[in-house]
Amino acid sequence: MRILLLGYGKMGKTIERIAIERGHSIAGKIDVQNRHEMDALAAADVDVAIEFSAPEAAYDNITYCLKRGWPIVSGTTGWLEHRSEIENLCMQQQGAFFYASNYSIGVNLFFRLNRQLARLMKGQAYRTSMTEIHHIHKLDAPSGTAITLAEGIAAENSSQKGWKLAPEEEDGFVQIEAKRLGEVPGTHIVRYESEVDTIEITHTAHTRAGFALGAVISAEWLPGKTGVFGMDDLLEDLD
Which residues are designated catalytic? 134, 138
Question: Which ranges of 157-230 would DSSP assign to H, the alpha helix?
Answer: 209-221
74 annotated as ligand-binding = no
Biggest CA pair distance of the chain: 63
CB-based contacts of 124, cutoff 8 Å, min separation 6: 192, 194
Q: Is 142 left (phi over 0), alpha (psi -120 to 50) or beta?
A: beta
CB 45 within 8 A of CB 29: no
148 annotated as ligand-binding = no
102 annotated as ligand-binding = yes
77 annotated as ligand-binding = yes
75 annotated as ligand-binding = yes
76 annotated as ligand-binding = yes
DSSP class of 46: -
135 annotated as ligand-binding = yes
182 annotated as ligand-binding = no
101 annotated as ligand-binding = yes
Q: Which of 8, 1, 90 is nearest to 45 (CA)?
A: 1
CB 3 within 8 A of CB 27: yes
Binding residue positions for NADP(+): 35
Known binding residues for (S)-2,3,4,5-tetrahydrodipicolinate:
135, 144-145
Q: Which residues are annotated as a binding site?
A: 35, 75-77, 100-103, 135, 144-145
